[in-house]
Amino acid sequence: MKKILNHPEAFADETIEGILLAHPHHLKRAPGTPRGLVRADAPVAGQVAIATGGGSGHIPVFLGYVGPGLLHGVSIGNVFSSPSVEAMVAVTKAIHAGTGVLYLYGNYGGDIMNFDMSAELCEAEGVEVKSVRVRDDVVSAPKSAAEKRRAVAGLFFAYKIAGAKAATGADLAAVTATAQRVVENTCSMGVALSPCTIPAVGKPTFTIGEDEMELGMGIHGEAGIERGRLKTADEIAQVMTERVLADLSFRSGDQVAVLVNGLGATPPEELYLLFRKAHQVLAGHGVQIQRVFIGEYATSMEMAGASISLLKLDAELLSLLDAPAYSPFLPQWRSAR
Amino acid sequence: MKKILNHPEAFADETIEGILLAHPHHLKRAPGTPRGLVRADAPVAGQVAIATGGGSGHIPVFLGYVGPGLLHGVSIGNVFSSPSVEAMVAVTKAIHAGTGVLYLYGNYGGDIMNFDMSAELCEAEGVEVKSVRVRDDVVSAPKSAAEKRRAVAGLFFAYKIAGAKAATGADLAAVTATAQRVVENTCSMGVALSPCTIPAVGKPTFTIGEDEMELGMGIHGEAGIERGRLKTADEIAQVMTERVLADLSFRSGDQVAVLVNGLGATPPEELYLLFRKAHQVLAGHGVQIQRVFIGEYATSMEMAGASISLLKLDAELLSLLDAPAYSPFLPQWRSAR
Amino acid sequence: MKAALTRDDALPLNQKLAADLEAANAAITALDAEVGDGDLGVTCRLGMKAALDLLPTLKEASLGDLILKAGLAFNSAGASTFGALVASAAMRAAKYTKDNALAAWDLPAVIGVLTSATQGIEQRGKAARGDKTLLDALWPAIETLEAAHKNGKDLAGALADAAAAAEAGAEATRPLRSKFGRAAWMQDRTVGVKDAGAAVAAMVLKSIAEYARM
Amino acid sequence: MKAALTRDDALPLNQKLAADLEAANAAITALDAEVGDGDLGVTCRLGMKAALDLLPTLKEASLGDLILKAGLAFNSAGASTFGALVASAAMRAAKYTKDNALAAWDLPAVIGVLTSATQGIEQRGKAARGDKTLLDALWPAIETLEAAHKNGKDLAGALADAAAAAEAGAEATRPLRSKFGRAAWMQDRTVGVKDAGAAVAAMVLKSIAEYARM
Ligand SMILES: Nc1ncnc2c1ncn2[C@@H]1O[C@H](COP(=O)(O)OP(=O)(O)O)[C@@H](O)[C@H]1O
Ligand SMILES: Nc1ncnc2c1ncn2[C@@H]1O[C@H](COP(=O)(O)OP(=O)(O)O)[C@@H](O)[C@H]1O
Ligand SMILES: [Mg+2]
Ligand SMILES: [Mg+2]
Ligand SMILES: [Mg+2]
Ligand SMILES: [Mg+2]
């Protein structure tokens, strides 16, 4: 796969430069690191601050979720690699408004280890830190080992809702609990049709036949977990929706928000084909679709593929999901009338 | 390139079905055709109605630009093919509020011929129709033959601003004149790195070597116009920006809106690399960037590539660009503070 | 061997035409992809299918109405540049047929119908002969029909000559530079490439000529 | 042939290590790509470059500080699972060196340092031997160093044995099922594949052993 690049190893830094030139009223650097971005108005007085972080190559994940009504800061690693502890510490200090910091990020080994080191360092300096790890990929581990699951596009729900909760002025315990409730009620399943290339590596992350697909893709360029024959849009959507429904143990009458996410190269048209079938499947189970998000909410550069995520809603989650928020990296949304 | 599909020839219709299931409060069908969508509140009293149309496979172009503060209706063709006259006529009737209709669309032969037929039929029934064709691709014809140029991502500026003008209650002549002013002040240049596949054809629209790129891509899966060696992000952005600047005959102090558009498979990160260099080039010319739009505003399914568009601003165009608008298919934007 | 085409020929003729174009589908797509967008094969498939679906439902229609409605159906399902030109041609062919109250197309009628249709294409698309479009297949075919008629040929013979002339005309588009349609943007890269629309026009004439000989 | 490693060895040893890992870059990437994400080669390249850039600036630093700062620099530039483990290992190696006021690492010191470092990795990553990680290369290496020390081998000889044991340990990860890191998601597909981190750990020990023999 060809790329529009300068020096492969400057990819992350030059991307950040471009972003700061494009959105100077929206983001600024965290003092002391080239790899941390925070809201232009950080620290935001009276709000618990939420930090995330992760590798480059997933926009709008991770930095695209920083903004009013969303998160407060982000540390940025190389493509698909964890950010450094230094960046995490710098971001934590730049956003902390005295009311504690929530680390809300994807359940990936490198990120966990580095965020844990950062939390130890920041707590030693008197910053209260809590951590919530998003782990929505149903295929990546059985429900009995849900704490091993990885994060995919379900990050969107956690970011949107935790950010809205923080914006209400809730305290760290409440923001953490809300984020954790989203994690426990979010489940995703994805499919990858083609790999991507890490610029500094220069070769695709995996190979896959023209008639194959991988169920359960990761957003870090990993291959999926079950390899199979490429199926139709209807078959794929049916498998994904049924598996997610079963995992969240839905009952007829339950209310959900649906996210159909594209990994990068998959066109919006194909996402709508998947939604069309998912809608039929959900209707068949008597599950009520309250909100719909279709587009690119978590990408893997030029990978082709998609995922379907469900969030089981309650009244508070729905109202937080509908709360205003802004980031130039996200699709538009507004609540249904 | 693999696709998530059911029957290739049902692609456009099933996509529309998915869209209507996803956004029932936003869009509805124009009575009498499966291939026309209009705003849920159409016809909008007191507004000149704007219709667009074109082939499938370009979301958010064309149907993604229908919405409050944007357009009123859209007719939808098969992938990369013109909509039918029937669909155009049905849309025209569904949106006409008695104050005339503007056809605002891309300068493509099939679309022109069909929209012209539709205009003749609608005018015979007493609907006043004007047409403005967007033609922003600098590489597709010399400036002396600008009326032969094709439309690429510059459609965004025309749709956004004409839609805002119509929302002010301006009459058909004024909306038409504003749309035409946008067309005359918009110029784009693009590059394609890989082709796409029309579902019903099943083969890529062109072939291109691993070390090659095409300057001046079309958004209909056409090959570009000048083939060259794949250059760096900085080189590509420099060539594109300089060529667009020269065509619009900028002077130092001029104000612009910049759009860096991804064709589909090109990741946002790479778009920000292009913007980074474009910003340097514009600064070098003393041109002032007033607004920035980076993302997918006009796609060609899974093509890899990007374009840079400039709109030369005046006070009215800027305020119309900043006016509120909503469509779930578009990235978020808001005016700078 | 047919001396004239009547409304009873509409369905079998279009069935043969659809089959012949389908057999050439990949070739048509390839030609259009070379300097266009590769959709012409799909257009022909969808357009012909729509016409074939419609024709059996038009039990009472006149010859003029059959061509009109089939042409419009073609463009509804296969809307595109080519579809719009087919529809425009059909509208003019129908008008000629009605204005002259024709119940069948003998050779002189075929000449009149094809001339009107081609003028309709010119008017809609604003191109002229030599601009590397389907007109470069159609005008030589019309001239050949006229000459064959003067030389006393029958309908099938005249159509066979016309098909050959159309094919020669399509071939002769190779050295030309495209001035209309998507191909116009490709400028010098169109030189050496056969125009896709002209190629399809020649195939259509060949198919009709073969039908007339049956 | 070196009897101990001192602060003067830090730069040349890391230069050799960087060169050896760079030579194996494609192989490392390929291993990590098989059941992971293919970034381990980049991590090693960026991490080693940062360490090499830093070391010459640390003119006054103690041996303990050198390993600490090089390890943190590695993870700053090559932040990742592997980077965090390297940093954690370096922190513990530095602590052992400082707690024991070591100015040089002779064979017993190397054993102590490597044991502390490996415990640091265990603590950070929560994995145990047999979980198909770099621990499966490190623990056999430590046991081999201890045995070699008992048998009276010198530093270079002991390290050579340890490197061989690490490589055998890395090879022996093949039949195992991954339980940690990205590979854990791949479950049965990891069976038959060599763990990338263990392979790198074995390379590192081989490089150090060769350096000690020089
Ligand atoms: N303005 C025009 N006038 C006449 N024929 C045209 C014109 N533009 C294109 N054509 C013909 O149409 C053919 C392409 O048809 P089609 O593939 O439907 O076009 P597109 O894909 O550009 O909509 C060309 O090969 C040419 O013969
Ligand atoms: N929890 C863990 N404890 C110890 N070692 C681990 C752990 N997780 C992964 N590893 C080691 O790290 C290697 C992968 O490193 P790296 O490529 O940096 O990981 P990632 O890409 O998943 O962040 C694995 O091959 C394994 O040896
Ligand atoms: Mg990694
Ligand atoms: Mg076309
Ligand atoms: Mg075409
Ligand atoms: Mg890895």
Closest Cα in chain C, distance from residue B168 (Å): 34
- Is position A333 within any domain? no
Q: What is the pLDDT averaged over residues A278-295? A: 97
Lookup result for tokens 């949106």: B95
Of A114, A141, A222, the CB nearest to D84: A114
Q: What is the pLDDT averaged over residues A164-191? A: 98
- Is position A19 within any domain? yes
Q: A40 and A55: one domain? A: yes
Q: A34 and A128: one domain? A: yes
Quick one: pLDDT at residue B223? 66
Q: What is the pLDDT averaged over residues D35-60? A: 93
Helices and strands in chain C: count of H runs, count of E runs:
9, 2
Compute, in angstroms, the gap from residue B81 CA to the centroid of ligand 5. 8
Q: What is the CATH number of the domain that holds B234?
A: 3.30.1180.20
Active-site residue, from A7, A26, A220, A285: A220
- The CA distance from B271 to B233, in Å, is 9
Q: Is pLDDT above 70 for A337?
A: no
How many alpha carbons fall within 13 Å on the CB side of residue D6? 4
Q: A89 and A224: one domain? A: no
Closest CA relative to residue A72, chosen from A110, A45, A35: A45
Q: A149 and A194: one domain? A: no
User: Of B184, B203, B234, which one is at a domain's C-terminal end?
Assistant: B184
Say whether residue A268 is in contact with chain B using an 8 A CB cutoff. yes
Quick one: pLDDT at residue B335? 73
Q: Is pLDDT above 90 for B226?
A: no
Cβ distance B3 to A270 less than 8 Å, yes or no, reads: yes
Q: Which of B81, B108, B117, B198 to mutate to test the pocket of ligand 1 (most atoms within 8 A of CB)?
A: B81
Q: Which of C21, C45, C85 to mutate to test the pocket of ligand 1 (most atoms within 8 A of CB)?
A: C85
Q: A98 and A163: one domain? A: yes
Residue D67 — φ and ψ, nearest 5°? -65, -40
Quick one: pLDDT at residue A195? 87
> Count of domains in chain B?
2
Q: What is the CATH number of the domain that holds A119?
A: 3.40.50.10440
- The CA distance from A6 to D22, in Å, is 22
Q: Is pLDDT above 70 for B266?
A: yes
Q: Is pLDDT above 70 for B165?
A: yes
- What burial letters (b/e) apply to D33-65, b meaning 16+ CB within 10 Å? bbbbbbbbbbbbbbbbbbbbebbeebeebbbbe
Give all strands of the β-sheet with A226-229 in edge-to-edge order: A226-229, A212-215, A186-194, A304-312, A255-262, A288-295
Q: B102 and B38: one domain? A: yes
Lookup result for tokens 């993302």: B295
B38: β partners: B28, B73
Quick one: pLDDT at residue B337? 53
For domain C5-212, the CATH superfamily is DhaL domain (1.25.40.340)
CA–CA distances in Å: residue D27 to residues A203, C59, D76, D81, D132: 12, 73, 23, 18, 18
Give the structural domain span for B159.
Answer: 8-184
Q: Which helix (H) or strand (E) holds A16?
A: helix A11-22
Residue A202 — φ and ψ, nearest 5°? 85, 0
CA–CA distances in Å: residue B202 to residues A231, B135, C30: 16, 29, 12
Q: A179 and A55: one domain? A: yes
Give the number of A-B residue pairs with CB atoms closer than 8 Å.
Answer: 182
Q: Which chains neighbour B (Cβ–Cβ under 8 Å, 3 or more pairs)?
A: A, C
Q: What is the pLDDT averaged over residues B169-177? A: 98
Q: B233 and B95: one domain? A: no
Q: Is C37 in the pocket of ligand 1 (CB under 6 A)?
A: yes
Quick one: pLDDT at residue A157? 98
Q: For chain C, which ranges sit under pLDDT 50?
A: none
Q: A61 and A157: one domain? A: yes
Tell me the three state secondary structure of residue A236: helix
- Binning pLDDT at 50, 70 and 90, where does residue A46 land? very high
* DSSP 8-state symbol, C191: T
Q: Is C131 in the pocket of ligand 1 (CB under 6 A)?
A: no
- Is position A330 within any domain? no
Q: Return mean pLDDT, chain D.
A: 95
Q: A260 and A119: one domain? A: no
User: Of B137, B153, B184, which one is at a domain's C-terminal end?
Assistant: B184
Burial (Cβ within 10 Å: 0-12, 13-18, ≥19) of residue A124: exposed
pTM exceeds 0.80: yes
Quick one: pLDDT at residue B222? 66
- The CA distance from B87 to B291, in Å, is 35
Give all strands of the β-sheet with A36-39 in edge-to-edge order: A27-29, A36-39, A73-79, A49-56, A101-106, A129-134
> Considering chain B, what percentage of its residues have pLDDT values greater than 90?
85
Angle at B319 between CA B314 and CA B324, to 5 degrees: 150
Non-local CB neighbours of A226 within 8 Å, separated by 6+ positions: A139, A214, A215, A216
Interface test with A, best of D42, D74, D131, D195 (most A CBs within 10 A): D42
- The CA distance from A247 to A244, in Å, is 5
Quick one: pLDDT at residue B333? 87
- The CA distance from B308 to B276, in Å, is 12
- The CA distance from A303 to A195, in Å, is 5
Q: What is the pLDDT averaged over residues D96-122? A: 97
Say whether residue A11 is in contact with chain B using an 8 A CB cutoff. yes
> Considering chain A, what percentage of its residues have pLDDT values greater than 90?
85
Q: Is pLDDT above 60 for D81?
A: yes
Closest CA relative to residue B310, chosen from B296, B291, B295: B291
Q: What is the pLDDT averaged over residues D83-90? A: 96
- Is position A337 within any domain? no
Closest CA relative to residue D197, chosen from D115, D116, D125, D119: D125
Closest Cα in chain B, distance from residue C177 (Å): 14
- The CA distance from B195 to B217, in Å, is 10
- Binning pLDDT at 50, 70 and 90, where does residue B221 land? low
Say whether residue C135 is in contact with chain B using an 8 A CB cutoff. no
Q: B70 and B168: one domain? A: yes
Residue of chain B whose alpha carbon sits nearest to that of C40 = B81
Tell me which chain D residues have a C-beta less than 8 angstroms from the C-beta of A150: 182, 185
- Binning pLDDT at 50, 70 and 90, where does residue A221 land? low
Quick one: pLDDT at residue A324? 94
- The CA distance from C111 to C95, in Å, is 14
Q: A143 and A21: one domain? A: yes
Quick one: pLDDT at residue B205? 77
Q: Which two tokens mark A282?
A: 């959900």
Quick one: pLDDT at residue B215? 86
- Is position B112 within any domain? yes
Tell me the three state secondary structure of residue B130: strand
Residue B315 — φ and ψ, nearest 5°? -60, -40
- Is position A115 within any domain? yes
Residue B222 — φ and ψ, nearest 5°? -70, 150
Lookup result for tokens 């959709």: C39
Strands (E), chain B: 27-29, 36-39, 49-56, 73-79, 101-106, 129-134, 186-194, 212-215, 226-229, 255-262, 288-295, 304-312
Closest CA relative to residue D55, chosen from D93, D107, D3, D16: D16
Q: B195, B223 in Cβ contact below 8 A?
A: yes
Q: Which residues line ligand 2 (CB under 6 A)?
A: A 109-110; D 32, 36-37, 39-40, 43, 80-82, 85, 121, 125-127, 133-135, 180-182, 195-198
Residue C69 — φ and ψ, nearest 5°? -70, -35
Closest CA relative to residue B182, chosen from B30, B12, B317, B337: B317
- The CA distance from A228 to A193, in Å, is 10
Q: Is pLDDT above 70 for A200?
A: yes
- Is position B1 within any domain? no
Closest Cα in chain C, distance from residue B198 (Å): 8
* DSSP 8-state symbol, A197: B
- The CA distance from A214 to C188, in Å, is 44
User: Of A184, A213, A239, which one is at a domain's C-terminal end?
Assistant: A184
- The CA distance from A321 to A336, in Å, is 11
Cβ distance B198 to C75 less than 8 Å, yes or no, reads: no
